[in-house]
Amino acid sequence: MIYKGVEFTVTAVAPGIWNWQFRISDRVIAGKTEAKLNLLAIRRVQLRIDRELKKAERELPASPDPSVGRPPAKS
């Protein structure tokens, strides 16, 4: 499945146990969750993807151009 441009998988391991995995750039993030419904397991993975995307955005290096992010000068 794809969520916000991130491909992820959710597979049933046992009743109520789900393995999941996704990749953001070169990092592979994987885990396990407990949920009776597959849609709940998928939603939990989507929330985790949101957190990891936000974290990756914060970790981006600052732009070397000091004018980036500033409002234009008034003339």
Residues contacting 1, CB < 8 A, separation 6+: 7, 8, 9, 10, 42
Reported pTM = 0.73
**Three-state secondary structure along the chain?**
CEECCEEEEEEEEECCEEEEEEEECCEEEEEEEECCCHHHHHHHHHHHHHHHHHHHHHCCCCCCCCCCCCCCCCC
Taking only the tens place, the pLDDT of each residue in 4-52 is: 999 999 999 999 999 999 999 888 999 999 999 999 999 999 999 999 9
Q: What is the pLDDT of residue 50?
A: 96
